[in-house]
Structure 1
């Protein structure tokens, strides 16, 4: 009788680095990441449409209501969805073969997502508050343009992040994490 070798597929492989997420946890987090990311992009598009509508309106009441609605969306949707997308993305990176800084597309997407979280909080959000006040006073002011510019930038950056997730360009960075 001949000796048979133990099949390699039954052996557990040891991988260097942090432990990987179990399949069901990874699928759940991936689903949560995609849903929150798509929602984030959708809200960014909605804010852009509202900013264009407000800026095109000659009615101070319409501008005030639109900017107030944008402010509500900024508080209730943009920040929570952005944070959820960022957290789920980092957990997926740590718990999968993609890593957080191991591939260029992931690293660039991380920087873009942090930028889309922080920059609008520092620029568009205060401009929205000013635009609501200006609309209440019946004025067409510069904050309206800053609101529009911030909305355009958010849509562009989140669209680029989506493209990076689809095409995964540029290869590895050389980092182990």
Structure 2
């Protein structure tokens, strides 16, 4: 019998890189990731509805109240849910077979999530503060367009991230 005739015996498969999460931990983190991501998207849609409501209101008091509510949601819900979704997603990426930068959909989703966390806090949040002040001063002209644009962008980007999670396109990175 030659070396070509002998059946090859496979060695147990070893995984390169960091250890994978245990099954129950992975399921817990996946559940937490889905809940926080869905909540984040829901808050983004609510902020969009509020931005449209404030833009359509003729009463400065209604505008001020709506913008103040948006500001509260931005601080108390949008930021914490976004951070929780990002942290659970990174831990899942590092502790599962998907990897953090191993697949295109994961890498792009990571970039989108960081962008939708940072950009609105640098643009929409300050515009909301200005909008509250303008509405309280009785002005009907305020930075409402920037508030509306930020809300639309957040909804689009978070919806795109949801689509990426569902379809998982493009295969592996190099």
1:89-104 residue pairs with structure 2 within 5 A?
89-104=89-104
Say yes or no: does 1:82 pair with 2:82: yes
C-alpha displacement of 1:16:
1.1
Query: d(CA) in 1 for partners of 2:17 and 2:73?
Result: 40
Query: d(CA) in 2 for partners of 1:54 and 1:116?
Result: 22
Corresponding residue for residue 4 of structure 1 = none
Corresponding residue for residue 35 of structure 1 = 35
Query: d(CA) in 2 for partners of 1:146 and 1:102?
Result: 36
Over the aligned positions, Cα root-mean-square deviation in angstroms equals 1.2
* More off after superposition, 112-121 vs 11-20: 11-20
Query: d(CA) in 2 for partners of 1:32 and 1:134?
Result: 38
Corresponding residue for residue 114 of structure 1 = 114
* More off after superposition, 91-100 vs 132-141: 132-141
Aligned to 1:24, what secondary structure does the other structure show? Answer: helix
1:15-164 residue pairs with structure 2 within 5 A?
15-164=15-164
TM-score of the aligned structures, taking structure 1 as reference length: 0.91
TM-score of the aligned structures, taking structure 2 as reference length: 0.92
Aligned to 1:72, what secondary structure does the other structure show? Answer: helix
Aligned to 1:106, what secondary structure does the other structure show? Answer: helix
Query: d(CA) in 2 for partners of 1:142 and 1:170?
Result: 42
C-alpha displacement of 1:12:
5.9
Give structure 1 regions of 4+ aligned residues with deviation exceeding 6 angstroms.
Answer: none
C-alpha displacement of 1:13:
3.6
Aligned to 1:131, what secondary structure does the other structure show? Answer: helix
Structure 1: stretches of 5+ with no match in the other structure = 1-7
